[in-house]
Chain A
């Protein structure tokens, strides 16, 4: 396959970026998208040019590091996959592919396609945990009976890999799906209920401080999420937040 790539190039966080057009030849349909990017970078290096910086790690759809906005969608045109699981057979010979970083003011571009998603870490640190006594007397989690329905929902919420596709896809750059998944995975379990009030207030406050936008229920985040995190989590977080606010 011969492709035209339009890639966002930006030297650093302060530099003014631009879309740069490249031609790539000999792309196999069996390559993953990241392998195609690797091949393109090898060509750039051979030509003495600066390779395109992009995030990646496990390349198995688990870590959430890859973060490209491909042809107008986070992680590209496929559903329930990250960029590393997207394959070139999704494209046709002669296609032009636009590749941009995840865009949100809370995700500043570090270089080219890599963005700083540490805002998610700070939100998590604000309350996305259960305080556990690690003195050796910790109760076995399995000793507490948990309704299977709740356990399944908590597990589904916990499958969020924090890639940021929800923010990137939302027209408002809202982080509600990510935060709600993290709130829900604890709110649904008895171990998490103890700190539920402080958790939701602190995490939402941190989310706002980071500068993410307001959710307007377009549902784009749910569609583009590689792990299929449900909008139901946002409704749950709204309930949790209202209850916590009323409690004071």
Chain B
């Protein structure tokens, strides 16, 4: 099934929607760090030690991330091969948004950011729990988060990356519904929700980074 254009399109959309769901959950936990150190530590400790989260959901998430990016590159490669002689003049801006035509660019920036993000948080976490087997400390998460945002360079990189994530979401979210065949009376509402989600969630992540940089 994955060998046809529509199957690839649907797979891309479903993996994207799954990642959007995860993004919402990630934001919900992170925003608590602005209001309550205790709540953030509690939620982070739960997510970091719950066996279902760690050994079922986390591998699914990693697979989802890898699948979405790999499929994105496969689609880009195949699409480039479907028109090997390019136009001398191609006015894409007359009929489509820059965002929709350059999802691969915003995707590559987000992928690069994820590399940094994994290096910053996921790798130390894996090292702490499964390599060095350090004792459980339910109160360490807030301090680790704030420490990461001491660096203005890191805060800048995070903020810029979230701008690109916003651009990626702006086209990708509503587009996913079209891909799975949902274009109906709810489409206008979905587009509005997409705009709100694509602006508010990345802006919220940027706010969290700047807040901890200024208050840490």
The residues of A that contact B135 with a CB separation of less than 8 Å are none
Min C-beta distance of B17 to chain A, whole Å: 14
Q: A103-B86, A215-B9 are in contact. Are A239 and B79 (CB under 8 A)?
A: no
* Binary contact readout A98-112 vs B (1 if CB under 8 angstroms, 0 otherwise): 101001111000000
A235 touches B182 (CB 8 A): yes
Check: A181 CB closer than 8 A to any chain B CB.
Answer: no
A216 vs B171: C-alpha distance when bound (angstroms): 10
B79 touches A173 (CB 8 A): yes
- Of all chain B residues, which has the CB nearest A246? B1
B82 touches which of A106, A224, A240, A242 (Cβ 8 Å): A106
Check: B89 CB closer than 8 A to any chain A CB.
Answer: yes
B101 touches which of A173, A218, A237 (Cβ 8 Å): A218
Check: A192 CB closer than 8 A to any chain B CB.
Answer: no
Check: A207 CB closer than 8 A to any chain B CB.
Answer: yes
The number of residues on chain A lying at the interface, defined by a beta carbon within 8 Å of a beta carbon of chain B, is 48
Within 8 A of A (CB), among B55-103: 75, 78-79, 81-92, 94-97, 100-101, 103
Interface stretch, picked from A57-65, A67-75, A155-163, is A67-75
The residues of B that contact A72 with a CB separation of less than 8 Å are 87, 89-92, 94
B79 touches A172 (CB 8 A): yes
A217 touches B178 (CB 8 A): yes
Check: B180 CB closer than 8 A to any chain A CB.
Answer: yes
- Of all chain B residues, which has the CB nearest A104? B83
- Of all chain A residues, which has the CB nearest B171? A217
A98 vs B103: C-alpha distance when bound (angstroms): 28
Min C-beta distance of A86 to chain B, whole Å: 14
Min C-beta distance of A105 to chain B, whole Å: 6
B183 touches A214 (CB 8 A): no
Check: B6 CB closer than 8 A to any chain A CB.
Answer: yes
Extra contacts besides A100-B88, A205-B4 (14): CB < 8 Å: A69-B89, A103-B83, A105-B84, A174-B79, A204-B5, A212-B82, A214-B78, A215-B179, A218-B92, A220-B96, A223-B95, A223-B96, A236-B183, A238-B180
Show 6 A/B contacts (Cβ-Cβ < 8 Å), sorted by A.
A72-B91, A103-B87, A213-B81, A218-B101, A220-B92, A238-B6
Instruction: Please report B residues at the A interface, Cβ cutoff 8 Å.
Output: 1, 3-10, 75, 78-79, 81-92, 94-97, 100-101, 103, 171, 175, 178-184
